[in-house]
Amino acid sequence: MLNLISFQSSPLAALGQVAMLLALAFTLAGLWLSVLGGLRSDPRSTEAARRSVWAVFAFVSLAILALLSALLRDDFSVRYVAEHSMTTSPTWVKITSLWGALEGSILLWAWLLAGYAFILSLTLRRDALRPWALGAMFVSLLFFVGVVAGVASPFTPLAQIPLQGQGPNPALQNHWMMAVHPVLLYLGFVGLSVPFAYAVAALITGRLSDHWLSVTRRWTLMAWVFLTAAIVAGGWWSYETLGWGGYWAWDPVENASFIPWLLTTAFLHSIQIQEKRNLLRGWNIWLIVLAYTSTVLGTFLNRSGIVQSVHAFAGGPVGPVFLGFLALLLIGGVALTAWRTPKLRDLGEAPAPLSREAAFLAGNWLFLVFSAVVLLGTLFPVIVEAVTGRKSSIGAPFFNTFSVPIGLGLLLLMGVGPLLPWRRADGESLLMALRLPVGTGVLAAIIAAVLGVRSVAVLLTLALCAYNVAGLATLTLRAARQRGSLTALLSEQPRRYGAYTAHLGLVVLALGLAFSGAYKQSGETTLNLGQDKQVLGDTLRLESLREAKYDYGSSAITQIRVNGQSFAPRMNVYAQDPGTPFPTPAVRYSVLGDTYLVTTNIDKNGKWASIRLIKSPLVSWIWVGTLIIVLGAGVTLLSPARPAVRKVTGGAVAAD
């Protein structure tokens, strides 16, 4: 590795590589110091470990700046730049090339992890968990910094410097969303390392009260927000660039980001049972271990090439290394948790069947089953090939059969949970509380059926959404009448009303999913210049077809009128892959349904174009719903880390 560092042939590559090696050295030192600080309860070692985090962050930042500057200067003496960038790309594409391929994306991951570790080092309380939480962060850092410094270094110099780089993957420069989605995703993945580190620290020290949870609640929620936004941003990218009019295909790597989301969502709910009722202490540890492990699993699937996917990068030695880290996390997590099992027994009584915690727990089970199904569907082709040697894949129908009923079950629980009190509810008052929401749901379904909705899944979704909204509205209005105003509620209990807002966002999103999934229509035809044609009941006319040339390629732009409105879908061709035209659909967003037009083939002489028209209702509700979720979670993040008044139940349990 060291003979690859040459300041003469490639100064920036050498700078980056040296910075990563120094970061690795400080990571090792920090790990050693934090373990020492933990074992000997030596605050000076812990302090030194804390400062090592700063050094690691500084050096990884230096490395990422070196790569960025190499990309911006078209320094093709750096192999990564030569293979994934080119002089003629616009600046924003050069910047996104930083994470547009394998080595760079792991460097970004390492940098974000170092950044989180840095913030954590500033906010850590001086308690017994401190050295071990730092130590666990260093273990994660050791892996990612080590991978960048070792097997997947973006800083390999190139002996023969080309005049022009090979350029980024066309799919990544076709839409600005590719600048946003990976960063959001990594912020989400990496964010989970903090609660994981605290869980490990709690296990090692045996301080398994809810302290580690209340310290990391904000971190978890933040990671969850990033993850939510990232997944939907990925869906939006798919909708805006791939030209199939959909946003989710159950692609293995989509699944790989969805599994951590499911587990984190479960965790966010079950930690409340521990906070309020002192139950599920072991369960929560398991959930966060699984959630963090699943982010690594996702990356392993993504990078190893063992599953077929539109995201799969070329393999290389990174796959086995990730598999090793995955095994370490799982085995380490299991061993630690098993060792502490005697201390993880719950103090309180088991949840009563009719209580908020029971609803949360049932939701947890559904989230777990959901992630197990998604994981199994994703890995099944791999298992089949290993056993029988046959190539196969699992189609979307498999996932849809499960996700629809599970999703409906979750909507059902989401509506009843907030209506139930903690500890115990009696059936009579629950029936009273449910009367209005259930009535509203049934009414909504009847109205929809009269208006012509025939799909059972859509009717059920509608009913459950109406029932959720009615439940939330009842709770909020009742409280508002007591307190005087809505704004007072929001400022007094941001956590609760933030959660309500997020639930409302999820309702909007669910409606978008149900309607766009069930009522998507698509039609294809070939239009001759100036000729009117009917597609899906709309009148289409091809007005013009012209070519625009750019430094990095060219675009064929078609002007098409749909019922008098003008659309300009494009077909982009990038210089590095002239054989692959990339469609850019023209989408007109509207509240009730989008009109989506994509050119599928064009005539070189400009006489005709083949087009696909897609009409899907309520797609924009998915994007708006996500925005509401993010907003609600943001409000919740504003709430104080620890409730000002301990719940009465807390005292009762403590006396137990």
The footprint of other proteins on residues 593-622 (CB under 8 A) is 600-601, 604, 608, 610-612
524 near other proteins, judged by CB under 8 A: yes
Check if the beta carbon of residue 348 is closer than 8 Å to that of residue 656.
yes
Least Å from the CB of residue 366 to other proteins = 10
Alpha-carbon gap, residue 571 to 585, rounded angstroms: 8
Backbone dihedral region of 533: left (phi > 0), alpha (psi from -120 to 50 degrees) or beta?
Answer: beta
Check if the beta carbon of residue 600 is closer than 8 Å to that of residue 243.
yes
**How many Cβ atoms sit within 10 Å of the Cβ of residue 292?**
29
Least Å from the CB of residue 420 to other proteins = 16
Which tokens go with 510?
A: 């669910």
Alpha-carbon gap, residue 332 to 326, rounded angstroms: 10
Angle CA 288–507–587, to nearest 5: 105
395 near other proteins, judged by CB under 8 A: yes
392 near other proteins, judged by CB under 8 A: yes
Alpha-carbon gap, residue 524 to 94, rounded angstroms: 36
555 near other proteins, judged by CB under 8 A: no
Alpha-carbon gap, residue 44 to 36, rounded angstroms: 10
* Stretch of 78-86, 92-100, 426-434, 579-587 contacting other proteins, by CB under 8 A: 579-587
Q: Which is nearer to other proteins, 195 or 377 (CB)?
A: 377
Q: Which of 384, 436, 479, 568 forms a contact with other proteins (CB under 8 A)?
A: 384
Which tokens go with 198?
A: 């605290």
For residue 321, the number of C-alpha atoms closer than 13 Å in the C-beta half-sphere is 16
Q: Which is nearer to other proteins, 506 or 613 (CB)?
A: 613
Least Å from the CB of residue 213 to other proteins = 22
474 near other proteins, judged by CB under 8 A: no
Amino acid at position 288, single letter: I
Residue 13 CA from chain centroid, whole number? 31
Q: Which is nearer to other proteins, 126 or 604 (CB)?
A: 604
462 near other proteins, judged by CB under 8 A: no
Q: Which is nearer to other proteins, 269 or 612 (CB)?
A: 612
Taking residues 316 to 355 in sequence order and writing x for each that binds other proteins by CB under 8 A, - otherwise, the string is -----------------------------x---xx-xx--
Q: Which is nearer to other proteins, 526 or 559 (CB)?
A: 526
Q: Tell the residue number behind the tokens 């990068």, with chain if given.
A: 313
Helix H or strand E segment including 541? strand 538-550
Q: Which is nearer to other proteins, 506 or 611 (CB)?
A: 611
* Stretch of 6-14, 15-23, 398-406, 502-510 contacting other proteins, by CB under 8 A: 398-406
* Stretch of 431-439, 461-469, 523-531, 556-564 contacting other proteins, by CB under 8 A: 523-531
H-type helices in 543-647, by residue range? 619-637
648 near other proteins, judged by CB under 8 A: no
532 near other proteins, judged by CB under 8 A: no
Angle CA 241–242–243, to nearest 5: 95
What does the chain come to in residues?
656
Q: Which of 150, 305, 316, 606 forms a contact with other proteins (CB under 8 A)?
A: 305
580 near other proteins, judged by CB under 8 A: yes
* Stretch of 102-110, 392-400, 455-463, 623-631 contacting other proteins, by CB under 8 A: 392-400
Q: Which of 2, 126, 342, 391 forms a contact with other proteins (CB under 8 A)?
A: 391
Nearest residue to 325 via CA among 304, 296, 303, 301: 296
521 near other proteins, judged by CB under 8 A: no
Least Å from the CB of residue 558 to other proteins = 13
H-type helices in 605-647, by residue range? 619-637
For residue 16, the number of C-alpha atoms closer than 13 Å in the C-beta half-sphere is 32
Q: Which is nearer to other proteins, 390 or 454 (CB)?
A: 390
C-alpha distance from residue 118 to each of 35, 52, 55, 106, 194 (Å) = 18, 9, 9, 18, 11
Site size for other proteins (CB under 8 A): 47
* Stretch of 21-29, 94-102, 128-136, 384-392 contacting other proteins, by CB under 8 A: 384-392
Which tokens go with 618?
A: 């309520």
Cα R_g (the chain), whole angstroms = 27
Least Å from the CB of residue 299 to other proteins = 17
577 near other proteins, judged by CB under 8 A: yes
Least Å from the CB of residue 397 to other proteins = 6
C-alpha distance from residue 327 to each of 321, 324, 453 (Å) = 10, 5, 48
169 near other proteins, judged by CB under 8 A: yes
Sites of contact with other proteins (CB under 8 A): 169, 305, 308-310, 312, 345, 349-350, 352-353, 365, 369, 372-373, 376-377, 380-381, 384-385, 390-395, 397-398, 401-402, 424, 524-526, 577, 579-581, 600-601, 604, 608, 610-612, 656
